[in-house]
Amino acid sequence: MAGEDFPYMRVSASILLPAFLIASFAAAQSGWPPSAGHTQIPIWPNGVPTPTTSAAPGANPTPAPPPGPEHDTTKPTDRPIAGRPIIRLGDVTVPTITLYVAPQANNTGAAVVVFPGGGYNILAIDLEGTEVCDWLNSIGVNCVLLKYRVPASGPYPKSSAALEDAQRAVGMVRQHAAEWGIEPKRVGVLGFSAGAHLAAALSTHYDQRLYPPFDAADQQSCKPDFAIVIYPGYLSIAEKNFEFNPDVPVTANVPPTFLVQAENDPVHVENVLQYFEQLKKAGVSAELHVYTKGGHGYGLRPTDLPITHWPDLATAWLKTIGVIGK
């Protein structure tokens, strides 16, 4: 379950980040601390934003007072998912990654950078974050949870902030691949809702960084080796009869992609249908699953609806494309 302290997932802060950066970040930790044994790593070397500047490039200057502090925005009236509440993390101004290492006994060396959803306004940090990392670890895949900037950080090109964070995060994973026991040619992404759009955006906007390079992480490729796209938004345009969004320019170089959505999703199933069609036109390997019922925002929490068994299908797909063993 999310939030439990699994001994095999404990990672020493000293192997992840120099001590002076950990110390400088300590004061910025607020609304969502990871479970014991996991250290959040700020992805930008600039540090915490001020009211007039940003910690990361590309973000618009923020007038005083700044948003925040980072906090759980969940209200008592918010609907639980599968009978449990979720953490809706808001006002994230210091993007971070948190490493969840798969147990040594079945660690495949593969890694997935996870993008929680939330309409680019909040992050469903447990439902579509830590719980996803627990599942990935259970199938031998290392997980890197990205806490990207919200609100109003996307979709690209309306804002470049979230996509900058995603590009930087994948580069950092490859930079530290040997240190973290990760195979740099088996680094994928997985996103939900707005995070699924972010996974698609990164799959199509990887050839050029949206920010000036800082260090060796930005010399690494930020192209995912595969992508898992779960109930995405922003890939079709409702106001234009659900035509495909041209801001996600699909080419033959897009990585293999796995897609899931429900026909009755209020965000509209046309998002995966249109993206799948574009992938097939470009000759990209893709697998699509559309279910009659499921709605939106279920994450991995099981219900009586078949769609909540999608992790089993995704596991089989990862085996099919050779990311994990048969």
pLDDT value for 314: 98
Share of the chain above pLDDT 90, in %: 77
Q: pLDDT tier at 36 (50, 70, 90 boundaries)?
A: confident
Nearest to 92 by CA among 130, 61, 54, 58: 54
- Between residues 63 and 97, which one has the greater pLDDT? 97
Mean per-residue pLDDT over the chain, rounded: 87
If pLDDT is split at 50, 70 and 90, which confidence band does 45 have? Answer: confident
User: Mind listing the pLDDT tens digit for each residue in 217-239?
Assistant: 999 999 999 999 999 999 999 99
| Residue 52 pLDDT | 34
pLDDT, tens only, 241-288: 999 999 999 999 999 999 999 999 999 999 999 999 999 999 999 999
142-170 residue pLDDT tens: 999 999 999 999 999 999 999 999 999 99
Token representation of residue 250: 């699909």
Contact of 123 with 151, CB cutoff 8 Å: no
The mean per-residue pLDDT over the stretch 34-40 comes to 86
Structure tokens at 36: 């014991």
Whether this prediction's pTM lies above 0.95 is answered by no
pLDDT digits (tens, 9 = 90+) for 76-120: 999 999 999 999 999 999 999 999 999 999 999 999 999 999 999
CA atoms of 91 and 114, how far apart (whole Å): 19
List, for residues 187-196, the tens digit of each pLDDT value: 999 999 999 9
Task: Report the alpha-carbon angle 36-124-220, nearest 5.
Answer: 75
Residue 214 has pLDDT above 70, yes or no: yes
Question: How sure is the predictor about 24, in pLDDT bands with cuts at 50, 70 and 90?
Answer: very low
CATH class held by domain 39-45+80-320: alpha beta
The number of beta carbons lying within 10 Å of the beta carbon of residue 85 is 14
Model confidence at 64: pLDDT above 60: no
In the chain, the amino acid numbered 32 is W
303 beta partners: none
